[in-house]
Structure 1
Amino acid sequence: MFDKEALKDFLQPVDKWAKDHNIPANRIIAEEFGINRMEKGADQYLSDLISVFDEYSWHWAFYTFREDSWEGMDYQLGEQPSKWKYWEALEKGELTNREQVEVDNPLWDALKNGLEK
């Protein structure tokens, strides 16, 4: 079980190492973090991670986004499995505007909120 405190404890050795070696916090990047968008609690996990990274003043980059062969981490699609019409439109090349599939959902909101800070 990872909650915010567990994540902070898990990442604390990186913060300590950086301080011990006089590495400024803004030189640390947490990259390629993510979670399958359909996992229960994925939105809270992303929010907690981003919050911890921000507390440590680290840069961050989530993984992955709009992968061409798997949509498990396409957070724009929300927490539910993609509807067949999405895949059909993608296969036919009819999906020309990604905003057509963007939905309001907790996963996307967690990332947007983090990016807007």
Structure 2
Amino acid sequence: MPIYVGEFSAIRWAPDNSAYYYLRDVIELFEEYEWNWTYHAFREWHGWSVEHSEDPDDYEPFEGETDREKLLKSWFALNKKPS
């Protein structure tokens, strides 16, 4: 039976870069078990945003890419386009 993880995320201002580590760890598990997944709220709310810094008072996207953004993009890049 296929498993689909429809929503997961981590608050961007979690201490000690733990949002990055949490995302990395759960994605690795999803991939290991071949579960399909969707990151929740890529651009819905700044709190979940991977495009914003870890500073909770920063409401503008980060100049460049955050570690969380690079992580997601590295996994997205492995997707195969349907033929």
Looking at CA atoms only, which structure, 1 or 2, has the larger radius of gyration?
1
Find the aligned partners of 2:63 and 2:50 in 1 and give their Cα distance.
9
Moved over 6 A (4+): none
Aligned pair in 2 of structure 1 residues 103, 80: CA closer, same or farther (>3 Å)? farther
Find the aligned partners of 1:54 and 1:102 in 2 and give their Cα distance.
29
Find the aligned partners of 1:114 and 1:52 in 2 and give their Cα distance.
13
TM-score by length of 1: 0.57
What residue is the counterpart of 1:12 in the other structure?
Answer: none
TM-aligned CA deviation for residue 80 of structure 1: 2.1
TM-score by length of 2: 0.77
Find the aligned partners of 1:115 and 1:37 in 2 and give their Cα distance.
19
Alignment counterpart, residue 77 of structure 1, candidates 52, 75, 81: 52
What residue is the counterpart of 1:32 in the other structure?
Answer: 7
5+ residue gaps in structure 1? 1-22, 87-99
Structure number having the greater helix percentage: 1
